[in-house]
């Protein structure tokens, strides 16, 4: 896993990032950590802008099938939660992480619409906050387009597997 630290002030919070959720994600309206069930963009903007630093965590993973992908994403997200906890123990008491794509902490279980089953582990999707992940991948991480785009393509469509094979970019942010 690689890490890059940036200033939160370098983020652009844009309304259009939620189109990635609305027009390409099966978790839209189904996951309490995803739009439209999570924080509104205006509240997310206030939240994100109240932090000074962001550590961007990223890792290319290989997987065998969609169940393996779900499990590997869950493991990556678990690592981020451990890093969040470490930052809190070091005195960054309000450190907060976000995941690329839908929260995978429930594995392949269906999320409850009413509330998160794992409120201590569940986190919002980065694009749901309004942070432009494509710009982040391109301008900050300097990742090639074919690599960076793999984080948000619909995870369970046949075209995803045809286009990207068994590769997926896991991304996460921890604000503090």
pLDDT tens, 94-117? 999 998 877 777 766 666 666 777
Helix (H, G, I), strand (E, B) or coil at 88: helix
The span from the CA of 133 to the CA of 136, in Å, is 5
Whether pLDDT at 168 is above 90: no
The span from the CA of 35 to the CA of 109, in Å, is 18
Whether pLDDT at 48 is above 80: yes
pLDDT at residue number 154: 47
R_g (Cα) of the chain, nearest Å: 15
Q: What would the mean pLDDT of 80-84 be, rounded to a whole number?
A: 96
**What is this structure's pTM?**
0.83
Q: What is the DSSP letter of 136?
A: I
């Amino acid at each position: 896993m690689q890490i890059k630290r940036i200033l939160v002030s370098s983020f652009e919070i844009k309304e259009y990032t939620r189109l990635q959720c609305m027009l390409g994600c099966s978790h839209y309206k189904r996951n309490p950590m995803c739009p439209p069930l999570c924080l509104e963009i205006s509240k997310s903007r206030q939240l994100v802008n109240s932090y000074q630093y962001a550590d961007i965590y990223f890792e290319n993973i290989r997987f065998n099938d969609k169940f393996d992908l779900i499990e590997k994403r869950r493991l990556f997200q678990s690592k981020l939660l451990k890093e969040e906890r470490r930052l809190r123990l070091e005195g960054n008491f309000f450190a907060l992480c976000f995941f690329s794509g839908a929260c995978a902490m429930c594995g392949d279980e269906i999320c409850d619409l009413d509330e998160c089953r794992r409120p201590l582990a569940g986190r919002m999707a980065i694009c749901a906050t309004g942070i432009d992940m494509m710009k982040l991948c391109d301008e900050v991480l300097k990742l090639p387009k074919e690599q960076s785009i793999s984080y948000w393509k619909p995870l369970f469509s046949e075209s995803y597997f045809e286009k990207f094979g068994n590769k997926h970019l896991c991304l996460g942010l921890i604000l503090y």
